[in-house]
Amino acid sequence: MPPAALAEMGYKIALYPVALLAASIAAMADALAALKAGRRPERAAPFAEIRDVVGFDAYRAEEDRYAAGPPAARPKRLSSS
């Protein structure tokens, strides 16, 4: 139901959890169809945005905090650029 219709009924807030899930499922289906056809998905977040959303930098900071041995002895990390 649109927010305006809900407001007319007296609601001040509405939650749309299934709307995000439905959009995600449709986007994943489109991406899988493109990959199956040998194409790249048309809409994809840049890797830098994925790193930010997932929290890669925080993981790396924790890894560095608890890593054993000098940095030169640790496995080389892949660049995101």
**Single pTM value for the model:** 0.57
Identity of the amino acid at 39: R
- Domain extents for the chain? 3-71
Given a cut of 70, whether residue 78 has pLDDT beyond it is no
Given a cut of 90, whether residue 72 has pLDDT beyond it is no
Using DSSP's 3-state secondary structure scheme, residue 52 falls into helix
Q: Which residues of 18-47 are buried (b: 16+ CB within 10 A; e: fewer)?
A: eeeeeeeeeeeeebeeeeeeeeeeeeeeee
pLDDT band of residue 37 (cuts 50, 70, 90) is: very high
> What pLDDT, on the 0 to 100 scale, is given for residue 70?
72
Q: How far is CA 59 from the centre of its chain?
A: 15
